[in-house]
Amino acid sequence: MRIRLVQGDITKEEADAIVNAANSSLLGGGGVDGAIHRRGGPEILAECRRLRASHYGKGLATGQAVATTAGRLPARWVIHTVGPVYAKSEDRSELVASCYRESLRVAAELGAATVAFPAVSAGIYGWPLDDAARIAVGTVREASGPVEEVRFVLFTADVHQAFERALNA
């Protein structure tokens, strides 16, 4: 599996699947989640509502992943995953890793060859950048399956630099 780093806007990334750093409600929010819902259009929200009503009444659990249409995004699917909020008092790094593993599992089930990830939990959920990057890159490196390319699409230079350090470690 190839791993690439891209600095840019994940909503403009052409890939089979784009991963959304979602909140547990699956109903949109701020950051990457809000941007994906706004740009992808109402089809994503409608499908998220159906999933929530039929399977995830209390919301998607942290570390899990589920797929919907990509709406108007330049992708076939959006894979929604819920990262943990950072807490110094508790090691929740396994939940961050689970977001990447579960997203790749869903991508494989869909037949996706290319997957674009944001920096899960590293934005408003407060995960320290270098640690988030280390977990993300390490988890993807350990993965096996039919996904041919993973792109980390990182919005700012500091996040890109953290992922570059992790990739080169």
User: Domains of the chain: which residue ranges?
Assistant: 2-168
Name the strands in the sheet holding 65-69, side by side, starting at the edge strand that comes first in the sequence.
2-7, 149-154, 114-117, 15-22, 75-82, 65-69
Question: What's the pLDDT score for residue 55?
Answer: 79
pTM: 0.96
**Whether 33 is catalytic:** yes
88: Cβ contacts below 8 Å, ≥ 6 apart: none
Residue from 9, 16, 33, 91 carrying the catalytic annotation: 33
Model confidence pLDDT, tens digit, residues 13-27: 999 999 999 999 998
89 pLDDT band, cuts 50/70/90, is very high
Looking at per-residue pLDDT, the higher value among 104 and 123 belongs to 104
Question: What is the distance between the alpha carbons of residues 96 and 45, in angstroms, rounded to a whole number?
Answer: 24
State the pLDDT confidence band at 52, using cuts at 50, 70 and 90: confident
- Structural tokens at position 94: 């396994």
The C-alpha atoms of residue 136 and residue 25 are separated, in whole angstroms, by 23
Mean pLDDT of the chain: 95
| Residue 151 CB-half CA count within 13 A | 21
The answer on pLDDT for 5 being more than 90 is yes
> Does 97 score more than 80 pLDDT?
yes
| Domain topology for 2-168 | Leucine Aminopeptidase, subunit E; domain 1 (3.40.220)
Q: 139 vs 3, 26, 49, 148, CA distance in Å?
A: 11, 24, 30, 15
Q: Is the dihedral of CA 119, 120, 122, 124 positive or negative?
A: positive
Which pLDDT belongs to residue 118?
A: 97
